[in-house]
């Protein structure tokens, strides 16, 4: 089972000073900052997923996340050199897609088949996913009689368009003799419609098929679709789940033909989730939130409104950080550290995380982790504050997620 991590130019600065929170003035982000596969040996995934929408944006002026210089360098140097994959142990692969969720509200995809084939070919990707249009079905297991006729018609139109584009993509790949392996995309709104899409893609010639639109599905809904697909899937056909992780269900997915998947969830939960920010092998902990006074919108509004004294906020912020470090080194008690954290939180946070904070402080899970980041940073890996700490915690989560995945599949972690 191969795990691909979607790229969004997420890197960390190895020279960042966690005490002064300053950077090297001569740092060049793309040159000096590190990807997760450069931080960990071996890397915590099998490859990267790179979306055209992230790199190029749209022809209507919507910007991607790459600067013009980064985009040009990717095309000039090609993906393997741009992402410095050769610095990692193991054979990391690059998969390309269009980023269909980013244009879900458009009437049709903003890219032509030739543009997408050119993107994959010019960047020298290993795999390329056909142009598709997401179908959003809130209840894929609903019976047809409970579905709106107009909605069904719109879904059918999107599926037909996706299959037409997949056929054109297949022909373009064969005609140009591209260096990447093409994957067709199956879009659907029910188990039966997904199975029909897979059957048609196999008739076109695809033996690698990506299943799109399943990100919001519950596990039982995904399994329901996979079981229907199993009835039509040819033995040689391999499935890829777009945007779906669910490590505890991976063995079941594998039995139903899934051979790879991609997901940002382990990384994004480090700073997007309300509670499950720091992964452990058996669960997760809330991160200890100590945001910068200047960078916290809620606190800045309260200060501007005269509800909070700025000097008081700065003092409590510094006290919380100091006591967290002293606690980790054995020079402060849990209670006084917790009190300092709570005192600062009360100035800006409407949610009561007191007991969750106490659990994190009491268990000190970073001390039980053998990843390079936890060993180097100590408690800073569990502090929710700024991009350098938050992304490192996301990288840690990828490391733990990979361990969980290997345990589920009975794989050798080495």
- What does the pLDDT look like over 6-62, one tens digit per residue? 999 999 999 999 999 999 999 988 889 999 999 999 999 999 999 999 999 876 556
Are the C-beta atoms of residues 210 and 182 closer than 8 Å to each other?
A: no
Beta-sheet strands, E only, within 20-167:
47-51, 93-97, 127-129
Q: What is the pLDDT of residue 136?
A: 87
Q: Which residues, including other chains, have CB under 8 Å from residue 96's CB and lie 6 or more apart?
A: 49, 50, 51, 52, 116, 119, 120, 123, 125, 127, 128, 129, 180
* Half-sphere exposure of residue 385: CA atoms within 13 angstroms, side-chain side: 22
Write out the two tokens for 18: 């966690």
Q: What is the pLDDT of residue 329?
A: 97
d(CA 174, CA 172): 5
- What does the pLDDT look like over 295-304, one tens digit per residue? 899 999 999 9
Q: What is the pLDDT of residue 61?
A: 57
- What does the pLDDT look like over 74-93, one tens digit per residue? 999 999 999 999 877 778 99
Q: What is the pLDDT of residue 59?
A: 61
Q: What is the pLDDT of residue 62?
A: 63
Q: Which residue has the tokens 């979607």?
A: 6
Q: What is the pLDDT of residue 172?
A: 97
Q: Report domain extents, the chain.
A: 2-263, 272-405
d(CA 149, CA 161): 18
3-state secondary structure of 25: coil
Alpha helices in 177-309 (DSSP H): 191-204, 219-230, 250-255, 265-272, 297-304
- Residues marked active site are found at 97, 262
- Note the pTM of the prediction, 2 decimals: 0.94
d(CA 352, CA 349): 8
Q: What is the pLDDT of residue 235?
A: 96
Q: What is the pLDDT of residue 413?
A: 65
Write out the two tokens for 312: 């008081």
Q: What is the pLDDT of residue 29?
A: 86
pLDDT digits (tens), the chain, 414 positions:
999 999 999 999 999 999 999 999 999 888 899 999 999 999 999 999 999 999 998 765 567 889 999 999 999 999 999 999 987 777 899 999 999 999 998 999 999 999 999 999 999 999 999 999 999 888 888 766 556 788 899 999 999 999 999 999 999 999 989 999 999 999 999 999 999 999 999 999 999 999 999 999 999 999 999 999 999 999 999 999 999 988 889 999 999 999 999 999 999 999 999 999 999 999 999 999 999 999 899 999 999 999 999 999 999 999 999 999 999 999 999 999 999 999 999 999 999 999 999 999 999 999 999 999 999 999 999 999 999 999 999 999 999 999 999 999 888 765
Q: What is the pLDDT of residue 258?
A: 97
What is the CATH code for 2-263? Answer: 3.20.20.105
Q: Is the peptide bond before 42 cis (omega within 30 degrees of 0)?
A: yes
Q: What is the pLDDT of residue 410?
A: 85
Partnered with residue 48 across adjacent β-strands are 5, 94
């Amino acid at each position: 089972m191969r795990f691909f991590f979607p790229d969004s130019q997420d890197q960390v600065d190895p020279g960042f000073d966690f005490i002064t929170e300053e950077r090297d003035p001569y740092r060049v982000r793309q040159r000096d900052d590190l990807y997760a596969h450069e931080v960990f040996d071996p890397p915590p995934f099998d490859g990267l997923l790179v979306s055209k929408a992230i790199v190029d944006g749209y022809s209507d002026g919507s910007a991607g996340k790459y600067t013009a210089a980064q985009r040009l360098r990717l095309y000039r140097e090609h993906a393997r050199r741009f992402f410095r994959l050769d610095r990692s142990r193991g054979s990391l692969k690059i998969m390309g897609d269009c980023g269909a969720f980013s244009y879900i509200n458009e009437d049709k995809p903003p890219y032509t088949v030739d543009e997408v084939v050119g993107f994959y070919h010019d960047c020298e990707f290993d795999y390329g996913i056909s142009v598709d249009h997401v179908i959003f079905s809130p209840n894929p297991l609903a019976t047809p009689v409970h579905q709106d006729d107009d909605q069904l018609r719109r879904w059918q139109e999107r599926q037909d368009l996706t299959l037409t584009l997949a056929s054109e993509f297949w022909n373009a790949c064969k005609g140009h003799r591209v260096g990447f392996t093409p994957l067709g995309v199956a879009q659907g709104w029910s188990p039966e419609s997904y199975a029909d899409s897979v059957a048609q893609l196999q008739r076109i010639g695809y033996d690698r098929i990506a299943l799109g639109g399943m990100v919001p599905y519950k596990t039982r809904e995904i399994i329901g679709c996979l079981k229907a697909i199993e009835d039509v899937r040819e033995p040689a056909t391999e499935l890829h789940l777009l945007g779906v992780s669910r490590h505890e269900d991976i063995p079941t997915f594998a039995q139903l033909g899934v051979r790879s998947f991609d997901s940002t969830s382990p990384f994004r939960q480090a700073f997007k989730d309300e509670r499950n920010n720091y992964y452990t092998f058996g669960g997760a902990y809330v991160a200890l939130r100590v945001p910068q006074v200047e960078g916290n919108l809620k606190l800045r509004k309260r200060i501007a409104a005269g509800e909070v004294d700025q000097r008081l906020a700065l003092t409590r912020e510094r006290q919380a950080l100091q006591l967290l470090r002293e606690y980790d080194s054995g020079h402060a008690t849990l209670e006084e550290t917790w009190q300092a954290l709570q005192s600062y939180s009360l100035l800006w946070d409407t949610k009561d995380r007191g007991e969750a904070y106490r659990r994190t402080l009491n268990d000190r899970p970073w001390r039980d982790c053998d990843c390079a980041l936890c060993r180097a940073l100590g408690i800073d890996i569990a502090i929710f504050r700024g991009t350098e700490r938050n992304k490192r915690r996301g990288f840690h989560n990828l490391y733990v997620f990979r361990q969980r995945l290997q345990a589920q599949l009975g794989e050798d972690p080495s």
